[in-house]
Amino acid sequence: MLLLYFTIFTSVTSRHISPEGWGQAQPTFPRLMNATIESLTVGLESKLFSSVDLVIAYARRIAEVNSTLNVVTELNPDALEIAKQLDLERSNGKSRGVLHGIPILIKNNIATMDRMNNTAGSWALVGAKVPRDSTMARKLREAGAIILGKTNLSQWANFRSQNSSNGWSAYGGQVYAAYYPKQDPSGSSSGSGVASSLGLALGSLGTETDGSIVSPAEKNNLVGIKPTVGLTSRALVIPISEHQDSIGPMTRTVKDAAYILQAIAGIDPADNYTSAIPGKIRNYLKACNPLALSGAKIGIPRNVISLTGTKGSPELIAFEKALTTMRNAGADVVVSNFTSASAQLMSQGEIQVLNADFIVNLASYLAQLTSNPTNVKSLSDVRQFTQSFPLEEYPSRDTKIWDQALFTQKWNNTDPRFWKAYQQNLKYSSDGGLLDVISRQKLDAVILPTSIASSWAATVGAPIITVPLGFYPLNAPVKKNTRGNLVASGPNVPFGLSFLGAKWTEEKLIGLAYAFEQKTLVRNMVQPYLVPKTEIADVVKKGRHS
């Protein structure tokens, strides 16, 4: 795959043609709002600009919007040095991989062994050190990416409080999305969503337990992939649940998500869930076939939409239109109701699994720290710290999720009650749910509006990908979030369409999502109200030191 890619693109650059200007004599500067890995690579290869230029341009863009949107908690102080090294390697004819010299931001719960903090947005972990890079960070670096910085998030990946807001962390402040003033960025990968959407990096990594990639991806007009649990290693990522956590790309195009997923997927002895990956990692780039909808069989759980959708909403109207698009592209779209849906919606199974896993998984993350200034070792310690450290905004932002885990549920994932809850979650899916309809009706995927999609995949560790579907009309009412500090929906706010699949079928889902994206190009139809102005040309022309 890599070889094929580089052959194609070498022939492209030798003719000095850029993907955004086929037929022009000279490569052009891609606009950073919609630059792609391929367009940046062409520019880097042709020496029109360097990775140092890219790091400077992105850092300036972050500085332009960060005081309003609060997206990035810290820049990598070594990013320029790393870029210089990668530029040097490139000029010596060496390429580490498809991400060579491409700046990527990562969520502030994915650890790096460098000068950056990994906090999940909590002051309890500021200054804590890890023994090595997380596997995700290592794989990004091996593929040549520049880790540009860390993105703000819903604190503890939204697993602390019942009275907080998406995108708020004590350490990072409140993230806002850019399609409406004070827009709820959704979460918990909030900063990763806003950053990719505004071109503050080529793309970003997020993490998802249930919705934390696909939801901020939809609210920020992006593509997001939550891979099958175990396709991407969770080693040295601050956890919620080993049974549901997964790390994935958030990008402006399906193809860029495929490139990044290719770089980060794979077996890792430090996360033994990855040993379940069947066979070789698939070729996600090759999966990007514009004709993939032709002959595909796609299911719609109509009863899930009746139970959880908002009747007559712009999302549902756009969803119905999407069915026509898919049928016109040759897909067989059928009804595939989840007969277990009502029972699953009433069940406490998922929250019980998360509570139980968090107690154990958090303790094992903390046990790996090589330096731990606040000396927190357990969820009880973290809770005590949070309740007594003023910047954590307790009690206005409560700790009810932890209180429930520690004092109401009380048991963790070593308890027999855990297995009962977990097996029940699996059964909802295999007997009348997502995995059942996929196998019984021989579906390639199930589709749902993204706002009601994630849980059906999350509880069984199945993959999900969201692509832009539409946005609220200009006369839409402004609705606040429950805390009352953010605009949850309103004019211009984007939403997405999700493809859910059987485990390890990312290749299929990427194909369907790519074909849908290419047919619709919804991302280009809606613009943020706030766009950073710095472009690569400003850095190259005005000089790197201005």
Ligand X SMILES: *[C@@H]1O[C@H](CO)[C@@H](O)[C@H](O)[C@H]1NC(C)=O
Q: Which residue ranges make up the site for ligand X (CB under 6 A)? A: 20, 31, 34, 62-63, 66-67, 70, 72-75, 77, 115-117, 126-127, 163, 171-174, 272, 302-303, 306, 335, 337, 359-360, 363, 396, 398, 412, 414, 483, 524
Residue 188 annotated to the active site: yes
The letter for the amino acid at 343 is A
Closest to ligand X by CB, 169 vs 429, is 169
The radius of gyration of the chain from alpha carbons, rounded to an integer in Å, stands at 22
Residue 255 annotated to the active site: no
Considering the complex, what minimum distance in angstroms separates the CB of residue 361 from ligand X? 9
| Cβ neighbours around 252 below 10 Å, total | 24
The letter for the amino acid at 53 is D
154 DSSP assignment? S
Q: Please, which residues bridge with residue 371 across strands?
A: 129
Rounded Cα distance, 194 and 450, in Å = 17
Closest to ligand X by CB, 59 vs 263, is 59
Closest to ligand X by CB, 366 vs 508, is 366
The sign of the CA dihedral 314, 255, 253, 196 is: positive
CB 192 within 8 A of CB 105: yes
Considering the complex, what minimum distance in angstroms separates the CB of residue 86 from ligand X? 20
Rounded Cα distance, 503 and 412, in Å = 26
Closest to ligand X by CB, 105 vs 292, is 105
Rounded Cα distance, 425 and 30, in Å = 46
Rounded Cα distance, 33 and 201, in Å = 9
Closest to ligand X by CB, 97 vs 418, is 418
Residue 400 annotated to the active site: no
Q: Catalytic pick from 39, 51, 169, 188?
A: 188
Considering the complex, what minimum distance in angstroms separates the CB of residue 175 from ligand X? 9
Question: Could you please report the per-residue DSSP string of 112-147?
Answer: -SSS----TT-GGGTT-B-SS--HHHHHHHHTT-EE
Q: Catalytic pick from 107, 139, 150, 255?
A: 107
Considering the complex, what minimum distance in angstroms separates the CB of residue 91 from ligand X? 27
Closest residue to ligand X, judged by C-beta, is: 173
What the block records as the tokens of 180 is 């409406």
Q: Catalytic pick from 212, 246, 454, 489?
A: 212
The letter for the amino acid at 272 is N
Closest to ligand X by CB, 282 vs 523, is 523
Closest to ligand X by CB, 11 vs 306, is 306
CB 23 within 8 A of CB 15: no
Considering the complex, what minimum distance in angstroms separates the CB of residue 477 from ligand X? 22
Considering the complex, what minimum distance in angstroms separates the CB of residue 485 from ligand X? 7
Side-chain-side CA neighbours of residue 274 (13 Å): 19
CB 533 within 8 A of CB 309: no
Considering the complex, what minimum distance in angstroms separates the CB of residue 357 from ligand X? 10
Rounded Cα distance, 284 and 513, in Å = 12
Rounded Cα distance, 541 and 49, in Å = 10
Strands 494-500 and 464-471: antiparallel
Catalytic machinery residues: 107, 188, 212
